[in-house]
Every structure is written in C-alpha cells, then in structure tokens.
Amino acid sequence: MNALHQYLFDSYRAASLGDPAPPAPGTHDVAVLRALRDHRRFERVVAGRPARGDVRAALHRWLHRAA
C-alpha cells in the first residue's frame, strides 16, 4: 500500500466517522525540510561552527583544487 492508498483509506474512514479529513500526502514536506535545515543550522551555531557556507566552500575547494 502506498501513501495515496493510505490517504484514500483514511479519508473514507474519517468521512464515515464524521472526523475531519487527514492532510493530503506531501502537504507538509516543505515545512519539514525547512525545520530540518533550521535545526541543523542551530546545532552548528551551538557547536561554534559557521551556520552557512559549508557546501559552497566545499564546492569551491573541489572545483579549484590544485592538480
């Protein structure tokens, strides 16, 4: 059973019981990713490391490495 089947099953069950319908699959994906990013930034600040720029710096090192 995939997420769509589970959503349809839960929607049917909620409708038959008079409960509010569940959120559609993928509704909160962006919010979860933003929360994860913010949490990782917070952990980096608490550990005393810069909160931004690691990916950019690593990419710069990789592209401009001495041959």
pLDDT at residue 66 is higher than 80? no
pLDDT band at 10 (very low <50, low <70, confident <90, very high): very high
| pLDDT single digits (tens) 24-54 | 988 999 999 999 999 999 998 999 987 777 7
pLDDT value at residue 51? 79
In the chain, where does DSSP find H-type helix?
3-17, 29-46, 54-63
- Sorted by sequence, the CB contacts under 8 Å of residue 21 that are 6+ apart come out as 11, 14, 15
Of the pLDDT bands very low, low, confident and very high (cuts 50, 70, 90), residue 67 is low
Q: Would you call 19 exposed, middle or buried from its count of C-beta atoms within 10 A (0-12, 13-18, 19+)? A: exposed
